[in-house]
Copies of this chain bind each other. A is one copy, B any other.
Amino acid sequence: MTDNRDISYFFKPKSIAIIGASPTQGKVGNTVLTNIIESGYQGKIYPINPKSEEILGYKAFKNVLDVPNQIEIAIFAIPSKFVALTAEECGKKSVKGLIVISAGFKEVGGKGVEREEELIRIAKKYHMRILGPNCLGFIGINYNGSFAAETPKKGHIAMISQSGAMLTGMMDYSMNQSFGFSCNISLGNKADLGAVDFIEYLAEDEDTKVILCYLESIKDGERFLKVVPKTARKKPIVILKSGVSEAGARAATSHTGALAGADIAYDLAFEKSGVIRAKSIEDLFNYGEIFLFQPIPKENSFAIITNAGGPGIVATDAFEREGLKFAQFSESILHDLRDNLPLEAAIFNPVDIVGDASPERYKFALKTIFGLNRENNDAKHDSNSITTSGALLIVTPQAQTKPTEVAKIIYEISSKFLTDKPIVCSFIGEKSISEGRNYLKQNHIPCYHFPDKAAHSLKTLVKYGEYLNTKPIDKLEIPEYDVDKEKVKEIFKNARNDGRIVLLSHETSEAFRCYGIKSPRSRLARTPNKSMELQKEFGKSVLKIVCPQIIHKTDVGGIALNIETEQQAYEAYIQIIDNAKKFGPQNAKIYGCEVQEMIDFKKESKVNELIIGMSRDPGFGPMLMIGTGGIYANFMKDISFALSYKFSKKDAKKTLQKTKIYRLLQGVRGEPSSDIDAIIDVLLRLSQLVKDFPEIVELDINPLLSFIKKYSAVDIKITITR
Is A149 located at the chain interface by the 8 A CB criterion? yes
A interface residue numbers (CB < 8 A to B) = 26, 31, 108, 147, 149-150, 161-166, 168-176, 214, 216, 240, 242-248, 251-252, 254-256, 279-282, 307-314, 316-317, 319-321, 326, 344, 346, 350, 355, 396-399, 428-433, 449-450, 452, 631-632, 634-638, 660-661, 663-664, 668-669
A707 and B576 alpha carbons, distance in the complex (Å): 33
Q: List 26 A-B contacts (CB under 8 A).
A: A149-B432, A163-B309, A164-B308, A164-B355, A168-B396, A168-B398, A170-B429, A172-B431, A173-B449, A175-B431, A176-B430, A214-B310, A216-B313, A242-B313, A247-B316, A247-B319, A247-B326, A251-B316, A251-B350, A255-B310, A280-B450, A281-B449, A281-B452, A635-B663, A635-B664, A637-B660
10 closest Cβ pairs, A-B complex: A163-B310, A165-B308, A245-B320, A172-B429, A169-B428, A166-B310, A255-B309, A175-B431, A248-B317, A248-B316
Q: With contacts A162-B310, A252-B313, A255-B313 known, what are 19 further pairs, Cβ within 8 A?
A: A31-B399, A147-B399, A161-B310, A163-B310, A164-B308, A165-B307, A165-B310, A165-B311, A165-B398, A166-B396, A172-B428, A173-B429, A247-B319, A251-B312, A251-B313, A255-B310, A256-B309, A280-B314, A282-B449
Contact between B397 and A311, CB atoms less than 8 A apart: no
A722–chain B nearest beta-carbon distance, Å: 29
Q: Considering the chains assembled together, what is the distance between the CA atoms of A150 and B430 in angstroms? A: 13
| A173 and B430 contact, Cβ closer than 8 Å, known pairs A147-B399, A251-B316 | yes
**The residue from B320, B355, B632 contacting A165, defined by CB atoms under 8 A apart:** B355
Given contacts A251-B316, A355-B165, whether A432 and B172 have CB atoms under 8 Å apart is yes
Across-interface contacts of A638 in B (CB, < 8 A): 636
A149 B399 Cβ-Cβ under 8 A: yes
Q: A216-B313, A313-B243, A636-B660 are in contact. Are A173 and B428 (CB under 8 A)?
A: yes
Across-interface contacts of A312 in B (CB, < 8 A): 251, 255
Closest to A666 in B: B635
Contact B321 A245 (CB under 8 A): yes
**Closest chain B CB from A134 CB (angstroms):** 11
A669 touches B319 (CB 8 A): no
Min C-beta distance of A101 to chain B, whole Å: 12
CB distance from A59 to the nearest CB of B (A): 27
Rounded to whole angstroms, the CA-CA distance of A566 and B166 in the bound complex is 82
A172 and B316 in contact, given A280-B450, A450-B282 (Cβ under 8 angstroms): no
A312 to B431, CA, bound (A): 34
With a CB–CB cut-off of 8 A, which chain B residues contact A313?
Answer: 163, 216, 242-243, 248, 251-252, 255
CB distance from A434 to the nearest CB of B (A): 8
Residues in B whose Cβ lies below 8 Å from that of A169: 308, 311, 396-397, 428-429
B251–A309 contact, CB under 8 A?
Answer: yes
Nearest to A255 among chain B residues (CB) is: B309
Residues of B within 8 A of A108 (CB): 344
The answer for the CA separation of A117 and B49 in the assembled complex, in Å, is 89
Contacts of A176 in B (CB 8 A): 430-431
Give the shortest distance, in Å, between A347 (CB) and chain B (any CB).
Answer: 11
With both chains docked as a complex, state the minimum distance between the C-beta of A109 and any C-beta of chain B, in angstroms. 11
Q: Which residue of B lies closest to A260 (CB)?
A: B313
Smallest CB–CB gap between A348 and chain B, Å? 8
